[in-house]
Every structure is written in C-alpha cells, then in structure tokens.
Amino acid sequence: MRVAAIVCTVSFTDADRIAVAPGGWVHKAMERDSELHRFVRSRLDNDGFFHLDDPVLGAISRVIGKTVVDCYSTSSAGLYLWGI
C-alpha cells in the first residue's frame, strides 16, 4: 500500500488525483492507517515535492522484486517482458 500511496501522491493522472482526493481510495486508506499517513506525509513538502529516502526506496524495491519473481516463475509472457 505504501508504494501505491507514493505513486498516487506524486502522479498527475486523473485517476491518481481522484485516489488521493478526499473520498478517494488512497485518502481513505491513509485515514484508516496512521502509519501509512505518517509515512507519506512526512516525505511530502508543502510545495508537493516528495522526498525519497531509504525506507521509500526499500518499499519500491520490494514491490519490484516481487513483481519480477512472480513474472519469472509464473508466466512465459512475463519472462519475455523482462527480457529473460
């Protein structure tokens, strides 16, 4: 959820803006989960710049790593997409 919240927070697509707006699914998740709220808000400046740090990069790396492993182990199409 952290990576989804980060991506939606820094994205400019309509779907992501709706997700982080009041009532959106990311906004609701951050209201329910104070740790997620703190994780995102502590790295977001008033001017909208999001600051990467080791915990953020670690969360993104875990998601990418799981995606590569899942593609590698379950799909020949995934293997093709990853150039394996």
Q: What is the pTM of this model?
A: 0.63
The pLDDT assigned to 80 comes to: 46
What's the one-letter identity of residue 47? D
Q: Where are the domains of the chain?
A: 1-51, 52-84
Quote the CA–CA distance of 12 and 17 in Å, as a whole number: 6
Question: Which residue pairs from 77-82 have beta carbons closer than 8 angstroms and sit at least 24 positions apart in sequence?
Answer: none
> Is 11 strand, coil or helix?
coil
The number of angstroms, rounded, from the C-alpha of 70 to the middle of its chain's C-alpha atoms is 18
Per-residue pLDDT tens over the stretch 8-59:
878 879 999 899 899 999 999 999 999 999 988 898 888 878 888 898 888 8
